[in-house]
Structures are given as C-alpha cells and as structure tokens.
Amino acid sequence: MVIAIDGPAGAGKSTVARAVARALGFTYLDSGAMYRCVALAALERAAEPAALAPGLAISLGDRVLLDGRDVTEAIRAPEVSEAASRAAADPDVRRALVVKQRELLAGGDWVAEGRDIGTVVAPDAAVKVFLTADPAERARRRAAELGADVGVVAAEQSIRDARDATREHSPLESAPEATVLDTTGMSLEDVVGHVVALAGRGRAGEPSAP
C-alpha cells in the first residue's frame, strides 16, 4: 500500500515520512530529491531541466545517486532548492518524474512524500496526509536543520511556497480526502503516531479522512 504525505517545505514531511516508514517496515520515497537531482544536473550542465529529466538515472536510498554519483549533500544546497522549485513548474519535467515515481510505487509498501503524491502520482493511495505548519515555525525548523539564518530561510521559503502553490501544473494542494495535520505545536512522536494510526485504518480499507 501507499501512504502519501504532501505539504510545503519545512512542514516535517521528510522526518515524519522516514519515521513512519521505519515504524511500519515500508520503503520511503522522497520525490523532492528527484526534482532536486534534475535541478542539480541542469545547473551543472547548463542545460534545460526538461531535456535532461527523462534520461537521468536517479537512485534513492540512504544515499542519493545521480548517474552513479553521490549527490546526497549537493542536492540540499539553497541554490538547488530554488532551481528545483523552478524546474518543478515545467510540465515536461513533472511528466518524466511522475513516470519514474509510479514505476517505483507499483510494487510493495511505500511512504511517499512530496507535493502531488496524493493528487497526481498515487491518487489511489490508501492513506493521504497533508502536513502543514505555520510559516515562521517551518522556517525555524529548516534554518536549524541547515544551520542557516532564519530570516534568509523564511524569505526563500515564501518565494518557493508561492511558486509551488500557484503553478499551473500540479500545484501544491491537499487532496480533498486527505487528513490535514497542522504540526505547529505537535511533537514528532505525536505526528508519527497519528499517521501510523491512519495507516492501520487504511489497511483495514477504511477512508483516511476522519
């Protein structure tokens, strides 16, 4: 089965998705890492992301490999975040990556996180969660993670949020049937417990929304 976790930057998707996958013995899919790989390749090769996306070999796991090279740290650089958000607005880039994501999700049990998992990539996901948190809290978390200035992170985040939410193709939005969790005042443990409980209901074939 697929557990889809969508939401904006800094809402806690990666941490929560990883922890839920560990708790349930599922495999974790970080779809954002794929957009980041396309953006990194385009920056390095001064090429159009859409021309590169279909031909890249992207391997996700403990380490992220791009055409066999370890880019786990390189794809987290702020300029790659910005370029990924721009590349992700291109429908040809999205088409290429959605194909790769659907191939992966076709077999086994997955926790997949991104912006459009519940709406586009896996509309039949057994569980759909939309994680959010207030913007100041999201910027604070991300700044702590990166060791960066919170004001700079907040400014970059708001540009990316606006672009992700207003783009024409697969904008960031909650699937109507998703359970929306505002994690602002919640501990990681509480959020993970909540998603794991939803997964139990999803397994039993019950709808994920309360």
Residues at the site binding ligand CDP, with contacts judged by CB under 6 A: 9, 14, 31-32, 35-36, 81, 84-85, 88, 114-116, 160, 164
- 76 in helix, strand or coil? helix
Q: Which is nearer to ligand CDP, 61 or 200 (CB)?
A: 61
**Which residue lies nearer to ligand CDP by CB, 137 or 201?**
137
Pick the closer one to ligand CDP by CB: 169 or 201: 169
Q: What is the CA radius of gyration of the chain?
A: 16
Q: Which residues contact 153 (CB under 8 A, 6 or more apart)?
A: 139, 142, 143, 146
CA 118 to chain CA centroid, nearest Å: 11
CB of 58 to ligand CDP, least distance (A): 13
Return d(Cα 114, Cα 137) in angstroms, integer. Answer: 19
Looking at beta carbons only, is 119 or 208 nearer to ligand CDP?
119
Paired tokens of 44 = 């390095």
Minimum CB separation of residue 75 from ligand CDP in Å reads 8
Nearer to ligand CDP, 91 or 200 (CB): 91
CA distance 61 to 19: 14
CB of 46 to ligand CDP, least distance (A): 20
173, amino acid identity:
E
- For residue 139, which of 123, 151, 126 has the smallest C-alpha distance? 151
* H/E stretch holding 99: helix 91-105
